[in-house]
């Protein structure tokens, strides 16, 4: 069993992973970036798998996923504008992966996370760590073509958009988030 706030959070994770899978699926299909096809396709497959894990996790807890509106990525691209080139795609991805990793790590730190949820988080975090590494490495490579300053500016721009979208999200869902994370700190998350 699972309460409505946890159901919302896992559904939110699921929707974000679907957003990520669609984003990378599109990129994997269209990219001409040399040497990136393998990493992008792997990334696409991982995010699709993560959406599947959350859907299975919800099912194992007897819950259907909630249908939520825009994913995190949709909001994000609205806030920061569409990436203009492949380097900017990587900069968006880096900001997004950092946020996802931070959120999952924070969730894992709560006491009393249900075993199904903990296992799913642990499984996904291993992949997210790898995602962050390859994107960080690829961005460093891009400095050769674009210059370190341009890469830094793109990273700063997307990180600012990420911060904005995250703040909006926390404000919009204050009741659910505070309930989940405050209860967790007291060791009572269910």
| Site residues for Fe ion per CB under 5 A | 17, 47, 50, 128, 131
Q: Which tokens go with 68?
A: 């939520």
Closer CB to Fe ion, 23 or 183, in the complex: 23
Secondary structure of the chain as H, E, C letters: CCCHHHHHHHHHHHHHHHHHHHHHHHHHHHCCCCCCHHHHHHHHHHHHHHHHHHHHHHHHCCCCCCCCCCCHHHHHHHHHCCCCCHHHHHHHHHHHHHHHHHHHHHHHHCCCCCHHHHHHHHHHHHHHHHHHHHHHHHHHHHHHHHCHHHHHHHHHHHHHHHHHHHHHHHHHCHHHHHHHHHHHHCCCCC
> Least Å distance between CB 154 and Fe ion?
19
Asked if 61 contacts 114 with a C-beta cutoff of 8 angstroms, the reply is: yes
Closer CB to Fe ion, 50 or 183, in the complex: 50
Closer CB to Fe ion, 90 or 183, in the complex: 90
> Least Å distance between CB 153 and Fe ion?
23
> Least Å distance between CB 95 and Fe ion?
12
Closer CB to Fe ion, 131 or 183, in the complex: 131
> Least Å distance between CB 20 and Fe ion?
5
> Least Å distance between CB 182 and Fe ion?
26
Closer CB to Fe ion, 5 or 71, in the complex: 71
């Amino acid at each position: 069993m699972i309460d409505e706030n946890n159901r919302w959070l896992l559904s939110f994770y699921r929707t974000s992973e679907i957003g990520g899978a669609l984003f990378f699926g599109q990129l994997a299909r269209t990219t001409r970036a040399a040497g990136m096809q393998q990493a992008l396709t792997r990334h696409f497959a991982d995010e699709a798998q993560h959406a599947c894990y959350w859907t299975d996790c919800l099912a194992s807890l007897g819950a259907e996923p909630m249908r939520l509106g825009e994913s995190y990525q949709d909001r994000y691209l609205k806030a920061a504008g569409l990436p203009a080139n492949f380097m900017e795609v990587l900069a968006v991805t880096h900001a997004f992966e950092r946020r996802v990793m931070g959120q999952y790590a924070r969730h894992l730190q709560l006491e009393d996370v249900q075993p199904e949820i903990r296992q799913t988080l642990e499984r996904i975090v291993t992949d997210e760590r790898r995602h962050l590494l390859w994107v960080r490495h690829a961005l460093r490579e891009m400095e050769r073509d674009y210059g370190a300053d341009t890469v830094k500016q793109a990273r700063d721009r997307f990180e600012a958009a990420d911060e904005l979208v995250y703040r909006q999200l926390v404000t919009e869902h204050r009741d659910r988030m505070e309930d989940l994370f405050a209860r967790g700190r007291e060791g009572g998350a269910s």
